[in-house]
Structure 1
């Protein structure tokens, strides 16, 4: 055996030696350098050689671009390898980094091949590798290996199942010196992983994954000279489905065997380690252990490659005949059956029905296509079906498809039989099989019966009493707003806006002001009784420097408090009033203060008595007078005729009417933020909004003719409205538009959720309030259609009455009524204050009752929506128990429209809490968060 053949037989070990050789040949350098090397210059057809391109000391470089070589298949061996080497010689340290790209070059024919120079740009410079040449010759297999592919059929059709058998005859190696023959398992281990299996690749991978090998038996076969020899026959089964007409070929099936040429005893447990070093012979320790009769371990010491291409029995693949091909044929070949099932059998016109289609057959199920439902006139006449091919999944020997179809009108009794056409190669003709019809019951569409929009389109027909609508239904309005204000953000409305607080405070403020203006003296006296102004007179008395100043301050204070018209100087009037009240001690104290002041003025003596003593007397007088006023139950002065000060009933009424107008304005308008959402431009939002409105209006036009088309149009409109919501717009009217579209499309859960979102911003929105109640009634009627009528509980009367009140009056009207009653109450009080004589007590009582009742209804119905609340949007779902990673079914069930509290979120799962207090997990797509 030549050295080149040795390298060709062991390319993987030679690759490692090549990398070591390249690294050993490197010299310390800082400039970028490019090297190229090949594992062997001689190989065999179908056996790859390893090519490595190494780029050293380059900070920036482009990966190599491999050229195309005729007759050679070039494959990259994955990501490049990176290494760094640091050497130190005589104190000089050199750091060398390298990146190595590896490729496999597999010759496809015999001949000489040349790989041209490769240009690589590194650190701004271009580097070229040298040309690489190598030879490929045909492996001399001799009589050691035969490969054949046999089929059970000689002629098949495109797409028909074809069972093939790959047969490999491999002559066992016999060591004449040791009289030892390798077993079938030992010889199979000599099959190289570089073999190409073509159409049998999947089967080979499956066996490798299961650590299996093909079954083998020892047979007798003649060689090319007619001499019989013993062979191991390995057979591998596979089924293929040809996709093009012509002959079956096996050009991509190449079996490579590293055929043993020498066995040897293993030296020690470390033999394989030393064998892998340069200069050692190759070992297959760990793969090929052969026990000898004396118990010694033997290993393959040398091999040579043999390559065999598969020979294929002539098998002709014919095309599917075009003559007589049905229009619904979609390429199925074999024998098939079709079954259908409807998930919902009792629906309303336009509501979706999930139609399940199952196909069972002998062909490749992953290639089977569903019947073209949109091309079946017997189905499309009564149902709206999806366009285009349906997606499906393979389950065992069947393939399942799911389609959502919608009945166009009420009264449809069944889903017609669905045909499926296939080509039967045994009969050589097209065969059509049918499923059984599915019995269903389609009722009238309750939501679509309201295409007559109250306050909506001009010319819409008002439904009659025969339409099956309840009286409450006629109050529902489904007119969607189309003005651009819908695209502006709104702030949530407060139960009592700041402007309403001003309005509430204004009437009592006006009336109190009128009372103070009219009874000013009485108010002052009342305030004086409670000590109003005491701190000021105490401070003035304390700050007085002389006795006359003390006397003046005291006389002024007493004159005002005693309401003497003569003013501060009439001390005799002050003393007389005090004695008239029976306050003799206070009169004596006042007289002392006044006499001391007179002595100062008469004699010129500055201090006949100490000024502090006079101050104490003055403080005692003030305190005693305050005590007398608190004890007294009557005004110390006779009644005086007060002036009207220009106030009249007309002015008071005007003030209160203005207050009512301000209240109406505060409830009718909410503060808004006109900033646009950032995810879409204003033009994009406007275009999407117009498309949604157009789809909604077009659906309204076909409600009476085609319920399915209408509901599909409403669903499309709802999806477009929802895109605007997802872009960040928070607007009560946009939410109401979305809810109206979902309600008309029959998705009541989502409709309820969006009505709730609208009311979270504007709880007084009349359309959202009315339509929400209507949606809940529809949901209740849907769940109780099969239930018997039950008597009404007395506990339900109050909620029913409250619901009736909201539908007939509305939350906004209740608030307006409460404010009107409040203003009327203070109007009555104000008129009585200014002296008008009428039955004011009766009017005040009625106004107070109206205010209390209306305000109670207003605040009781004001929604307290939490951001963590969500609405269930699926018909029925079981809560799951678990920790967020593993779940199990729990007994709790939720229905469409139920409100839950979101506790936490983990991925696509939400932990929710029911109104009853139970917790569980739901998928996020099963609810809409408010």
Structure 2
């Protein structure tokens, strides 16, 4: 048993070993020449996952990847047993640039989640003697240049033609160009070489004679490559980054078949170093005709550089705004828009054209130009431009600090002119602009002058007709609220005081009401109880007659009727509804008893109980048979008696009518306002948006409570500082307001929803001129707190600014129009308080009258009654105002409505001065929304032009 266990264990260990990942490293050769790469190959076998190593820096060598790893899999079946192996091969070129012994250090890979290090690899690089086979020179056309000044250089390569002694074949200039190795470093000539390669061109070589270094002239192929460089440091021109490597042929032979692959090709990833240039697209195919280079050795030409002196740009007389430009330049500027409010952004574009390297030109340091910063807020940051044709363009945003600025001053650009050897400065033309007073930033001064308060004054001290831009920074701003009902509970002032009066009436007249209070028992049960309590046969008869009259729905007995008349009316009622048999039994009991005299009480009780059951059953059966009957005419003297005094009855009836009217109106309106939309709909799309996509606003920003507190503190500080600077520096103020609104928006994005936070954000949006977003956020605030006076007042003011900008005047017509004007003037809260006070006063006076008969009720109740009727009617009209089904606000000044969800669709309507107008979103698709305007226009526009109003 133990041996079987050991066998299983051995098999498991062997299986685990078989599938364990392996890493192997090798190089193509241990000895190479300078400029000829060796290939480093890393094999990863049977690994489920691996990560490529980070390439090390090797002094004197370049190392680069040969592309994506080659992945292979192999399946082997031996004696019916199947095994599978997977491998990945990573290859790298390691090219020595100088003689010596080099070590490729251990490379660390992550294989199946574990770090694995390769073995270090050593190789030797020797220099192949060039002799007279190649010469390399770099010539400059100038003897002296300045740092940054353009210098035209020519790279000259002389290569001695190879003549094969065996075949007598001499390679052409094209064939010899193809022997230039891919490991060549072109330095400052790389761009020209890459351009030729993309265009499938090469330098044209010419056969010339030159000294071979021993005093003898030999034939060479001369190749020229020209480039313009810009020296970056003073001194001599350096050629350290240029190394021309040629795989110089040593033998020719038959070209290999295109269908075959050599071992070297396979090992080196399909590109042998011996034929690296033979099939390069840049240089074309080699000489062909069935011959190919079969042997070669690398040679590296020593680069001789012309003695061009690079001088530093002088420091004497250097302008403070100089940023390294060398050459001759011009500057132009353009600004849009040219008519703005103080603090609003102006886009300033700067174009610089010149003879120097445009990609190296830096923008003028605008923040250090006092003629610009005195009147404008300028970003203190370096500008990244782009080269367009022969000009480099920079773009930035500046903000005028005050109204009345008339121009953007000339922008200067300084450079060093190597021809005159002096610094020069060019100026752009000034740009005329018009800067008006910023209306939004001026509002704080309006409020302060009207109240004599600082920006931190309480809301109660502010005139309710003026906007209040004081932001709340209390702890409640970070608490999430639930949307409140738009009715505000005002209907309680209509219902509760009358209920108190009703209770007082009940208490006052309880004894009378109790005596006349109808029984809640059924007529049958009440009759049987009365018979049970009867003290005489007459009591039994009275109970039975009353029961028959009630069940027959015949008016009660007249007080003047005697017992016989009452019995006769009861019997007649039964016959009238068709119950003749039961009527005969009742007549026999009631009328015969009077003829025969008073019967015994027990006999009367038993007979009456039986008749009650029979009459009740017969009338119920008669109703089910749906036999129609006529109602008996009400006798002239059959009115129900009352014990109340006639004058009191008239007053009570009037008060009851008023009570019923008020309660009906309040109950109806409460139901309507609970189901109807308030100032804005609770659901922004109200189930109408089809194919809606998830909005980016639904993604919440994860913030801790401490981070939220920090954001609120920073936003409050920026906002208050902006208000303090609003009159002295509009540019700084608007920049601070932009920072504040960004932080308020971050708090909302983190999931906080309440009226105070939305009001804070709306205030910041309003004062930066974003009226559309301000209106949407004020509406959001009102959704969470319909009684928020600050949000409602500021919203009305923002709507007024929108109407003023579009020259729209709402007509005032009819009772509803006049009422809206009154409510806008007094305020909704004032109206509700008037309703509450008048209701309590009116019903309080009536309650006092109940207990003090001599109290002059109408002298005290007339004014409260009139105020109650007026205020209640005004509230009803206000709450029942017809509202359009809108759920979003346009936030752009001009919008184009398209026929579909994209700019490629035709424009169906253009809307100017659209910011702040409410619209209904009826569909959404991607980043586009389909809307319907108040005029019934329908079309699609980008979501960036809308701000949704929603309590979510």
1:123-272 alignment runs, 5 A limit: 132-174=121-163, 181-264=170-253, 270-271=259-260
Q: Are the counterparts in 2 of residues 378 and 416 from structure 1 also a CA contact under 8 Å?
A: yes
CA distance in 2, matches of 1:892, 1:537: 79
CA displacement 1:749-773 (0-9 Å, x = unmatched): 3323322332343444333333233
CA displacement 1:282-320 (0-9 Å, x = unmatched): 87579775688xxx6544444443333433222332222
Kindly state the Cα deviation for residue 502 of structure 1 after the two structures are TM-superposed. 5.3
CA distance in 2, matches of 1:630, 1:927: 71
2:737 is aligned to: 714
1:334 is aligned to: 327
The 3-state SS of whatever aligns with 1:860 is: coil
Matching residue within 15, 21, 41 for 1:52? 41
Kindly state the Cα deviation for residue 107 of structure 1 after the two structures are TM-superposed. 1.9
1:346-495 alignment runs, 5 A limit: 346-452=339-445, 454=447, 459-460=452-453, 475-495=466-486
Kindly state the Cα deviation for residue 849 of structure 1 after the two structures are TM-superposed. 5.7
Q: CA RMSD in A?
A: 5.8
For structure 1, which segment, 379-388 or 33-42, has the greater mean C-alpha deviation from structure 2 after superposition?
33-42
2:642 is aligned to: 640
Kindly state the Cα deviation for residue 323 of structure 1 after the two structures are TM-superposed. 1.6
1:108 aligns with 2:97: yes
CA distance in 1, matches of 2:326, 2:450: 55
Kindly state the Cα deviation for residue 816 of structure 1 after the two structures are TM-superposed. 5.3
Q: Are the counterparts in 1 of residues 385 and 392 from structure 2 also a CA contact under 8 Å?
A: yes
Distance 1:131 1:381, change over 3 A: closer
CA distance in 2, matches of 1:205, 1:635: 122
TM-score (norm 1): 0.76
For structure 1, which segment, 443-452 or 54-63, has the greater mean C-alpha deviation from structure 2 after superposition?
54-63
Number of residue pairs aligned between Structure 1 and Structure 2: 863
Instruction: Identify unmatched segments of 5+ residues in structure 2.
Output: 1-16, 456-461, 594-598, 675-681, 683-699
CA distance in 1, matches of 2:542, 2:32: 133
Distance 1:160 1:91, change over 3 A: same
CA displacement 1:454-511 (0-9 Å, x = unmatched): 489984489xxxxxxxx999622222223222222232232335x4565555567677
1:738 aligns with 2:761: yes
Distance 1:121 1:707, change over 3 A: closer
CA distance in 2, matches of 1:278, 1:581: 123
Distance 1:116 1:764, change over 3 A: closer
CA distance in 1, matches of 2:480, 2:886: 18
1:687 aligns with 2:679: no
For structure 1, which segment, 843-852 or 579-588, has the greater mean C-alpha deviation from structure 2 after superposition?
579-588
Kindly state the Cα deviation for residue 56 of structure 1 after the two structures are TM-superposed. 4.4
CA distance in 2, matches of 1:888, 1:318: 61
Q: Are the counterparts in 2 of residues 191 and 256 from structure 1 also a CA contact under 8 Å?
A: yes
Distance 1:523 1:143, change over 3 A: farther
2:567 is aligned to: 575
CA displacement 1:518-545 (0-9 Å, x = unmatched): 79999999999xxx9889779999xx9x
Kindly state the Cα deviation for residue 370 of structure 1 after the two structures are TM-superposed. 2.0
Q: Are the counterparts in 2 of residues 452 and 461 from structure 1 also a CA contact under 8 Å?
A: no
Kindly state the Cα deviation for residue 388 of structure 1 after the two structures are TM-superposed. 2.5
For structure 1, which segment, 571-580 or 45-54, has the greater mean C-alpha deviation from structure 2 after superposition?
571-580
1:37 is aligned to: 26
The 3-state SS of whatever aligns with 2:712 is: helix
CA distance in 2, matches of 1:389, 1:661: 66
Matching residue within 857, 873, 877 for 1:852? 873
CA distance in 2, matches of 1:450, 1:702: 13
1:929 aligns with 2:948: yes
Kindly state the Cα deviation for residue 425 of structure 1 after the two structures are TM-superposed. 1.9
Distance 1:130 1:502, change over 3 A: closer
Q: Are the counterparts in 1 of residues 351 and 394 from structure 2 also a CA contact under 8 Å?
A: yes
Q: Are the counterparts in 2 of residues 818 and 850 from structure 1 also a CA contact under 8 Å?
A: yes
Q: Are the counterparts in 1 of residues 902 and 928 from structure 2 also a CA contact under 8 Å?
A: yes
Q: Are the counterparts in 2 of residues 171 and 232 from structure 1 also a CA contact under 8 Å?
A: yes
CA displacement 1:114-173 (0-9 Å, x = unmatched): 557789998999998776443322223344433322223232222222232323333444
CA distance in 2, matches of 1:592, 1:267: 136
The 3-state SS of whatever aligns with 1:489 is: coil
For structure 1, which segment, 836-845 or 884-893, has the greater mean C-alpha deviation from structure 2 after superposition?
836-845
Distance 1:924 1:584, change over 3 A: closer
CA distance in 2, matches of 1:821, 1:862: 29
CA distance in 2, matches of 1:615, 1:753: 68
CA displacement 1:888-919 (0-9 Å, x = unmatched): 77763454334444566666555555555556
The 3-state SS of whatever aligns with 1:490 is: coil
CA displacement 1:220-271 (0-9 Å, x = unmatched): 4443344444444333333332323232222222223334445555576635
Q: Are the counterparts in 2 of residues 596 and 608 from structure 1 also a CA contact under 8 Å?
A: no
CA distance in 1, matches of 2:628, 2:108: 112
Distance 1:53 1:409, change over 3 A: closer
1:754 is aligned to: 777
2:891 is aligned to: 872
